[in-house]
Structure 1
Amino acid sequence: MLIRVVRMTFAPEQVPAFLTLFHATKHRIRQRPGCRHLELWQDAVVPNVYCTFSHWDDEAALNAYRESELFGEVWPATKRLFAAPPVAFSSAPVTVVE
């Protein structure tokens, strides 16, 4: 499993547009092959900072989404609302052997 976090800082006046876009597309993203989970988080201190938190089967599933028509709709529309560059990273759970 691959966990993807994307931290996005929006211009405060653009937050409603982002929330509308996210809520209009979240179900379609969740239905993408390999997407196991998608959440939206809001920063507890800075209200115009949001993170998407998603689980993917693997990097190939995430890359397939990133190459999809849906991503081509969602990401450019989201980027136009940014006040700062996004920060994104992928991680994998660690299995601890005792």
Structure 2
Amino acid sequence: MFVRIVKMGFYEQNIEPFLANFEANKEKIRGFKGCQFLELYRDKNDPTIFFTYSYWDTENDLENYRQSDVFKNVWAKTKPLFNIPPMAWSVDKLETLN
């Protein structure tokens, strides 16, 4: 399993459309084959910055999602809302303490 972290910045007037799009699609994303976990975070100091964290079984599962109609539709509505280029990282989870 690995974690995908995506940082996104939005123009202030585009935050509500982004949140509405996320709300409308979060179950589809989480339900995609290989997606084990999905969270959305908002920066405490800059309310225009958001992060998604998703856990994927394999890199191939993430790539299949990125090639899917679900992703293409979500991204088509999200991309024009950015005020900075998005940044993404794929990282291996080494340890969890509960």
TM range (shorter): over 0.9
SS in 1 for 2:52: strand
- The answer for the alignment partner of 2:24 in structure 1 is 24
Divergent runs of 4+, >6 A: none
Aligned residue runs from structure 1 range 47-58, under 5 A: 47-58=47-58
Letter in 2 for 1:41: Y
Letter in 1 for 2:68: S
Structure 1 runs not aligned, ≥5 long: none
SS in 1 for 2:82: coil
- The answer for the alignment partner of 1:84 in structure 2 is 84
Are 1:5 and 2:5 matched, yes or no?
Answer: yes
Are 1:15 and 2:21 matched, yes or no?
Answer: no
- Rounded to whole Å, the distance in 1 between the matches of 2:46 and 2:32 is 30
TM-score normalised to the size of structure 2? 0.94
- The answer for the alignment partner of 1:35 in structure 2 is 35
State the shift of 1:94 in Å. 2.3
Are 1:72 and 2:72 matched, yes or no?
Answer: yes
- Rounded to whole Å, the distance in 2 between the matches of 1:43 and 1:66 is 25
The CA RMSD measured in Å over matched residues stands at 0.8
Q: Percent identity?
A: 41
TM-score normalised to the size of structure 1? 0.94
State the shift of 1:2 in Å. 1.2
State the shift of 1:87 in Å. 0.7
Structure 2 runs not aligned, ≥5 long: none
Letter in 2 for 1:58: T
Spell out, residue by residue over 1:12-47, the C-alpha distance to the aligned partner (whole angstroms, 9 max, x if none): 110000000000000010110000000000001000
